[in-house]
């Protein structure tokens, strides 16, 4: 059983909701990322989404764009991202790690080599923002033998026919993008999200995560009520940016923010 | 990434893209899920209207009466004589309304936006030519217009920024990344994904996700269709060579496409070598880049070892882009077109030469095509024919050229 599957099974058994924080690998600096990951797990994170920094993050709002810029300015490259995961795995072999990024850094390495390195490092799945199912066949063929999942996004503009196509190829879980916009937007409509999640549930038994626009305990709780997992990115990255120069303070802030989300989700 | 296909001996070179928007291994639709549905919708609307007689009639009417088409094919006799070889004919896209070929495409896309019921259009721009062409059609058809422009480019192109504002457009300064064209494109995509219900994104070049590369090409192909006919009328035959500059590559594909199956016509796309390919300071992905994925399509890119997009350099803001249209990538791989490059210095010399010898001030972008022509023409017979796409006029570049000579205008 994959770590992702085991994680969602445990969540379901305990009648809980999964908390998935996102940070960009190498932000504010590559040597701080592993520490942050452990901190987030002890504060209550169930799965970690780790961003691969990219020069042209087209689907991201300003907060995560700047995280990419900070990470790249510190020289973070794809091999560093694998090293970070590898180091994290020396102390934690249970928490699933999903790499989130854009296709070009993967293409340049070659699908086979990228997937080999990812699997070896202890990665469990990939979210590739600009790789829709139509263009995914080859990558999925590389991922399958390693037991890695490609996590697909579904959005408010995904029509029925596409939804079916996505559910056919998806594994791990599905990530519902709660609004039309970039990461960090601020206009979440919980009722509309609930409606769409019901539509998706008609097509698949995979767990449903929701991301984009979840900024605090209150929105996490509201979304937790209707989904299986909640992804929090920009709100977390903002805190990293704010305390980038004081590592201890940053860890504390991140920890207490994750704890507040955990408490909110456990109250659902 | 798939293997390169080289299987076009019998098929038409005009058969691309395939159903999924691929030109061989290039092109495609690499965008976030939110844009996939809207791109399908755009593709359907485009396919419907491009063969709709009313749409075609309105497009052609506006090209004639608003843009001023057909543009002349002008025999540059004095320049041809000085170079001592082939006869050079200039396709005068500089004489279009707004001063460049860009308006052929913005008229087409704005009419499509109107048919699709979109009241707001957005665009990205580098030098400002596509931004001006978009603001112009938005004014003409009564639409709201927002243009994204890199903060660096806004500084360099103050006059075009003011032109857009006069035309009623909002110009948004993009502060992210390198603050140039590629970042403006990222930002326009972010706007589109947020406002996709009522907004039409007018992409200015033959890049981006399917159907943009095909659609922008088809709206610019009027350049090549006219040139083909004009050349036959004036000389009784087809040209021996075509030359056009390639940034994203919209003016080039517009000229090339109607000639692709005329195998006797040699095709040259000219990239910006900036300070020289060997210096690394250039904008020539087809000459010195490799295939990758950016801005919704697979194509040749300028990138580092880890796939991060690197900064480009060219004296011409319109060529200062790290990617190139996927159809050019395909034409390069199958060998139907040759992609060469000229430096800033060579382009500047051609800018001055054409101005002094023919009385035409060319855009710095087009000057790259002219500069390559000065290498090509002397090697050819005196009865050979070259058509060069004079894609834009140089008024916008006067400040850049003057500054290089230490003159403040």
Q: Going from the N-terminus, what domains does chain A have, and what CATH number goes with each?
A: 3-266 (3.20.20.70)
DSSP 8-state class, residue B380: S
Q: Residue A227 in contact with residue A16, Cβ under 8 Å? A: no
* Given the residues A5, A27, A60, A124, the one annotated as active site: A60
What pLDDT is stored for residue B176 in this prediction? 87
User: Which residues of B fall within a CB distance of 8 Å from A79?
Assistant: 306
pLDDT in tens, B292-308: 999 999 999 999 999 99
pLDDT value of residue B9: 52
Angstrom distance (rounded) from CA B213 to CA B39: 12
pLDDT band at B10 (very low <50, low <70, confident <90, very high): low
What's the mean pLDDT when you consider all of chain A? 96
B359: its two tokens: 């009385």
For residues A107-127, give the mean pLDDT: 98
Q: Which candidate, A233, A234, A214, places its Cα nearest to that of A224? A: A214
Backbone φ and ψ for B288, nearest 5 degrees, come out as -135, 10
Which B residues in the span 76-115 are in contact with A, Cβ-Cβ below 8 Å? none
Helix/strand/coil (H, E, C) string of A86-130?
A: HHHHCCCCCCCEEEEECHHHHHHHCHHHHHHHHHHHCCCEEEECC
Å from B266 to nearest chain A CA? 32
User: Would you call A58 and B190 a contact, using CB atoms and an 8 Å cutoff?
Assistant: yes
Nearest to B33 among A57, A105, A132 (CB): A132
For A202-260, the pLDDT digits (tens) are 999 999 999 999 999 999 999 999 999 999 999 999 999 999 999 999 999 999 999 99
For residue B399, the surrounding DSSP H or E stretch is helix B398-404
Q: What is the mean pLDDT of chain B?
A: 95
Instruction: Give the mutation candidate from A53, A58, A79, A199 for the B interface (greatest B CB count, under 10 A).
Output: A58
Q: Provide the shortest C-alpha distance from residue A254 to chain B (in Å).
A: 26
How many other C-beta atoms can be found within 10 angstroms of the C-beta atom of residue B352?
Answer: 13
Q: Could you read off the pLDDT of B191-228 as tens digits, one per residue?
A: 999 999 999 999 999 999 999 999 999 999 999 999 99
Q: The whole model's pTM is what?
A: 0.96
pLDDT above 60 (res B8): no
B29/A contact by beta carbon, under 8 A: yes
More confident residue, B134 or B126: B134
Active site residue: B93, B124, B271, B327, which one?
B124
pLDDT in tens, B55-78: 999 999 999 999 999 999 999 999
For the cut 60, the answer to whether the pLDDT of residue B395 exceeds it is yes
Q: Find, among A257, A227, A218, the residue nearest to A240 by Cα.
A: A257
Pair type for strands B170-174 and B144-150: parallel
Q: How far is CA B263 from CA B9, B81, B239, B257, B270, in A?
A: 11, 27, 11, 12, 19
CA distances from B57 to A9, B63, B101, B192, B312 (A): 61, 10, 19, 29, 40
Whether residue A65 and residue B176 make contact (CB cut-off 8 A), yes or no, is yes
Cross-chain residue pair A69–B295, CB shorter than 8 Å: no
- E runs forming strands in B63-194: 73-75, 87-92, 120-125, 144-150, 170-174
Query: Which of the residues A59, A129, A183 would you substitute to probe the B interface, choosing the one with the greatest number of B C-beta atoms within 10 Å?
Result: A59
Contacts by B353-359, CB closer than 8 A, 24 or more apart: B353/B79, B353/B82, B354/B76, B354/B79, B355/B394, B357/B76, B357/B78, B357/B79, B357/B82, B358/B76, B358/B78, B358/B79, B358/B90
Q: Which of B226, B271, B391, B396 is catalytic?
A: B391
Q: In angstroms, what separates the C-alpha of B194 from chain A's closest C-alpha?
A: 4
Neighboring chain B residues of A138 at a CB cutoff of 8 Å: 1-2
Look up A149 and say whether it is catalytic: no
Nearby residues of B197 by Cβ (< 8 Å), 6 or more positions away: A180
More confident: B1 or B63:
B63
Tell me whether residues A107 and B293 touch, CB distance under 8 A: yes
Residue bearing the bigger pLDDT, A86 or A184:
A86
Both tokens assigned to A268 = 């659902």
Please check the confidence at residue B264 and state whether its pLDDT lies above 60: yes
Catalytic: B250?
Answer: no
Taking a C-beta distance cutoff of 8 angstroms, is the pair B113, B143 a contact? Answer: yes
Extract long-range pairs of A220-226: CB within 8 Å, 24+ residues apart. Answer: A220/A19, A220/A261, A220/A264, A220/A265, A221/A264, A221/A265, A221/A267, A221/A268, A222/A188, A222/A190, A223/A178, A223/A188, A223/A190, A223/A193, A224/A17, A224/A264, A224/A265, A224/A268, A225/A268, A226/A190, A226/A193, A226/A194, A226/A197
Cα three-residue angle B313-B191-B109, rounded to 5 degrees: 80
The Cα–Cα gap between B37 and A6 comes to 33
Q: How close does chain A come to B181, measured CA to CA in Å?
A: 12
Q: How many CB atoms lie within 10 A of CB A34?
A: 20
A219 token code pair: 């929105």
pLDDT of residue B4: 44
**B338 has pLDDT over 60:** yes
ipTM for the predicted complex? 0.95
Decide if pLDDT at B1 tops 80: no
Taking the C-alpha atoms of residue B37 and residue B34, their distance in angstroms, rounded to an integer, is 7
pLDDT at B5 over 80: no
Q: Is A137 a catalytic residue?
A: no
pLDDT tens by residue, B27-49: 999 999 999 999 999 999 999 99
- Quick check: A180 and B33 CB within 8 A? no
- The helix (H) or strand (E) run that includes residue B274 is strand B266-274
Give the up-direction half-sphere exposure of residue B58: CA atoms within 13 A in the CB hemisphere. Answer: 15
DSSP 3-state percent helix, strand, coil across chain B (nearest 5):
45, 20, 35
Please report which confidence band the pLDDT of residue B11 belongs to, taking 50, 70 and 90 as the band edges. confident
pLDDT digits (tens, 9 = 90+) for B348-379: 999 999 999 999 999 999 999 999 999 999 99
């Amino acid at each position: 059983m994959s770590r992702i599957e085991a994680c969602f099974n445990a969540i379901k058994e305990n009648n809980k909701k999964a908390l998935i924080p996102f940070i960009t690998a190498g932000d504010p600096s590559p040597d701080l990322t592993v520490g942050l990951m452990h901190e987030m797990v002890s504060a209550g994170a169930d799965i970690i989404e780790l961003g691969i920094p990219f020069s042209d993050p087209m689907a991201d709002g300003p907060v995560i764009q700047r995280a990419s810029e900070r990470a790249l300015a510190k020289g973070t490259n794809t091999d560093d991202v694998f090293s970070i995961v590898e180091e994290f795995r020396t102390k934690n072999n249970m928490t699933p790690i999903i790499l989130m990024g854009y296709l070009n850094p993967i293409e340049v390495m070659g699908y086979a080599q990228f997937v080999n390195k990812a699997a070896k490092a202890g990665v469990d799945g990939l979210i590739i923002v600009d790789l829709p199912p139509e263009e995914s066949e080859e990558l999925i063929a590389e991922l399958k033998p390693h037991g890695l999942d490609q996590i697909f996004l579904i959005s408010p503009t995904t029509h029925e026919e596409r939804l079916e196509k996505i559910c056919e190829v998806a594994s791990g879980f599905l990530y519902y993008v709660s609004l039309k916009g970039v990461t960090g937007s601020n206009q979440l409509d919980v009722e509309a999200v609930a409606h769409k999640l019901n539509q998706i549930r008609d097509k698949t038994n995979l767990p449903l995560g929701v991301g984009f626009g979840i900024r605090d305990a209150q929105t996490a709780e509201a979304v937790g009520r209707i989904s299986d997992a909640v992804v929090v990115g920009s709100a977390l990255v903002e805190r990293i940016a704010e305390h980038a120069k004081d590592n201890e303070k940053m860890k504390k802030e991140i920890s207490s923010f994750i704890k507040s989300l955990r408490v909110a989700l456990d109250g659902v | 990434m798939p293997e390169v296909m080289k299987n076009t001996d019998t098929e038409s070179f005009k058969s691309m893209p395939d159903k999924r928007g691929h030109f061989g291994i290039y092109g495609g639709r690499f965008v976030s899920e939110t844009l996939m549905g809207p791109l399908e919708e755009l593709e359907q609307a485009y396919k419907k209207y491009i063969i709709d007689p009313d749409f075609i009639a309105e497009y052609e009417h506006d090209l004639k009466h608003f843009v001023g088409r057909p543009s002349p094919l002008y025999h540059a006799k004095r320049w041809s004589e000085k170079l001592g070889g082939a006869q050079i004919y200039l396709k005068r896209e500089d004489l279009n309304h707004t001063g460049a070929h860009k308006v052929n495409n913005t008229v087409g896309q704005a009419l499509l936006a109107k048919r699709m019921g979109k009241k707001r259009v957005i665009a990205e721009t580098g030098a400002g030519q596509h931004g001006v062409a978009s603001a112009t059609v938005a004014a003409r058809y009564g639409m709201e217009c927002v243009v994204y422009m890199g903060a660096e480019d806004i500084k360099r192109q103050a006059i075009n920024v003011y032109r857009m504002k006069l035309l009623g457009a909002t110009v948004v300064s993009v502060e992210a990344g390198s603050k140039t064209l590629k970042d403006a494109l990222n930002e326009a995509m972010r706007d589109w994904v947020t406002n996709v219900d009522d907004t039409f994104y007018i992409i200015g070049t033959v890049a981006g996700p399917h159907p943009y590369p095909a659609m922008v090409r088809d709206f610019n192909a009027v350049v090549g269709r006219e040139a083909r006919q004009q050349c036959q009328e004036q000389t009784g035959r087809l040209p021996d060579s075509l030359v056009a500059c390639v940034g994203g590559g919209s003016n080039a594909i517009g000229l090339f496409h109607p000639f692709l199956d005329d195998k006797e016509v040699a095709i040259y796309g000219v990239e910006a070598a900036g300070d020289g390919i060997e210096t690394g300071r250039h904008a020539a992905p087809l000459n010195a880049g490799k295939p990758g994925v950016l801005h919704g399509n697979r194509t040749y890119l300028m990138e580092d070892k880890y796939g991060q997009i690197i900064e480009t350099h060219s004296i011409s803001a319109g060529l200062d882009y790290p990617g190139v249209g996927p159809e050019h990538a395909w034409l390069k791989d199958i060998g139907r077109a040759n992609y060469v490059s000229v430096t800033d210095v060579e382009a500047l010399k051609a800018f001055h030469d054409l101005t002094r010898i023919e009385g035409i001030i060319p855009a710095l972008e087009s000057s790259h095509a002219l500069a390559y022509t000065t290498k090509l023409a002397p090697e050819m017979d005196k009865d050979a024919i070259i058509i060069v796409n004079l894609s834009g006029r140089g008024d916008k570049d006067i400040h850049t050229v003057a500054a290089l000579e230490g003159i403040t205008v």
